[in-house]
């Protein structure tokens, strides 16, 4: 196992502590809490060759210090980390969205420096979409954890070349759909950099061609798997309910999100995060940015 250390300047507001708190409560890819450890740590599959990779990320002012280790292409792995932590986004104009929209301004004050953390890859987002279809979130999380425990590599999700061969005892057609997702990943149809570079609507249409993934799932893959920063999720009733509550019944998501450009995904994530925090408050308050 080799190691690569990278330092990258993060442009715009960023708090690793706030982002990490958000990710620790992000059920599909939740991190274990380590209150005494200021370094964010996780294990993931390197999209370049699907090898197991470990990463530690710490913050020094506006600099992200990233240490990746594994047997694959570590430069590609470091770039993948920056993508799923939104560290590669130039967010210097993100505060201007709050200047145009008082609701977003309030969210920015409550979650200072939050950068939306997504799935490790579109492949893992697509697998989660399959596992979570027609079951409760806690059950889907249990199915995912069982998959990692039984077929993963020391904490990493099973790679697609293995997943496509498994006959799993899962509800409905989940096993079939997971094999379809694995085939798509191996064919390059779930490539993170490619989906991120595409127009979000075009990327969603591409993902919709994968068997077992509907409109909600396809948006999840692009917005939270490729972590595209500027797209509007159109199949999230809870987000629409939050917009109605905060903006009033005479305003809809399509209308208010125009002021969020070029950070429509970010604004949507902020509003959903505040809704989750309100409905499921943490045991301790979210740490303020220093």
Where in the chain are the domains?
2-118+264-279, 122-225
- The partner residues of 53 in beta bridges, in order of sequence, read 44, 70
* 114 φψ region: left (φ > 0), alpha (ψ -120 to 50), beta (else): beta
Q: Which CATH class is domain 2-118+264-279?
A: alpha beta
Please name which of 279, 284, 283, 278 lies closest in space to residue 107, comparing C-alpha atoms: 278
pLDDT at 286: 39
**Cis before 254? omega within 30:** no
Low-confidence ranges of the chain (pLDDT < 70): 26-36, 281-290
pLDDT at 281: 67
What residues contact residue 216 under an 8 Å CB cut-off, 6+ apart? Answer: 129, 235, 236
Specify the 3-state DSSP secondary structure of 114.
Answer: coil
Please name which of 192, 256, 269, 270 lies closest in space to residue 225, comparing C-alpha atoms: 192
Q: Which CATH class is domain 122-225?
A: mainly alpha
Which residue stretches of the chain are H helix? 16-24, 74-84, 94-100, 102-110, 122-132, 137-151, 160-163, 174-186, 192-197, 200-207, 215-220, 237-247, 253-256, 264-279
């Amino acid at each position: 196992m080799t190691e690569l250390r990278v330092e990258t300047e993060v442009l715009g507001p960023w708090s690793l502590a706030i982002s990490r708190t958000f990710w620790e409560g992000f059920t599909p890819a939740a991190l274990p809490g380590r209150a005494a450890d200021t370094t964010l740590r996780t294990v993931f599959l390197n999209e370049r060759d699907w090898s197991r990779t470990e990463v530690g990320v710490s913050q020094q002012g506006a600099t992200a210090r990233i240490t990746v280790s594994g047997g694959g292409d570590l430069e590609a792995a470091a770039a993948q980390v920056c993508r799923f932590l939104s560290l590669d986004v130039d967010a210097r104009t993100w505060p201007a969205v709050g200047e145009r929209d008082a609701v977003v301004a309030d969210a920015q004050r409550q979650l200072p420096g939050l950068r939306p953390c997504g799935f490790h890859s579109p492949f893992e987002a697509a697998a989660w979409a399959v596992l979570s279809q027609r079951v409760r979130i806690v059950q889907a999380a249990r199915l995912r954890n069982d998959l990692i425990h039984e077929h993963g590599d020391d904490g990493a999700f099973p790679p697609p070349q293995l997943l496509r061969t498994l006959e799993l005892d899962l509800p409905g057609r989940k096993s079939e759909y997971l094999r379809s997702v694995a085939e798509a990943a191996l064919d390059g149809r779930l490539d993170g950099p490619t989906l991120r570079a595409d127009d979000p609507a075009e990327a969603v249409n591409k993902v919709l061609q994968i068997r077992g993934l509907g409109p909600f799932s396809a948006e999840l893959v692009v917005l939270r798997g490729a972590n595209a920063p500027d797209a509007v999720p159109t199949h999230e009733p809870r987000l629409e309910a939050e917009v109605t509550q905060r903006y009033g019944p005479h305003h809809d998501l399509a209308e208010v999100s125009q002021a969020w450009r070029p950070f429509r995904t970010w604004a949507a994530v902020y509003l959903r995060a505040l809704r989750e925090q309100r409905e499921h408050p943490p045991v301790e308050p979210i740490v303020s940015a220093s």
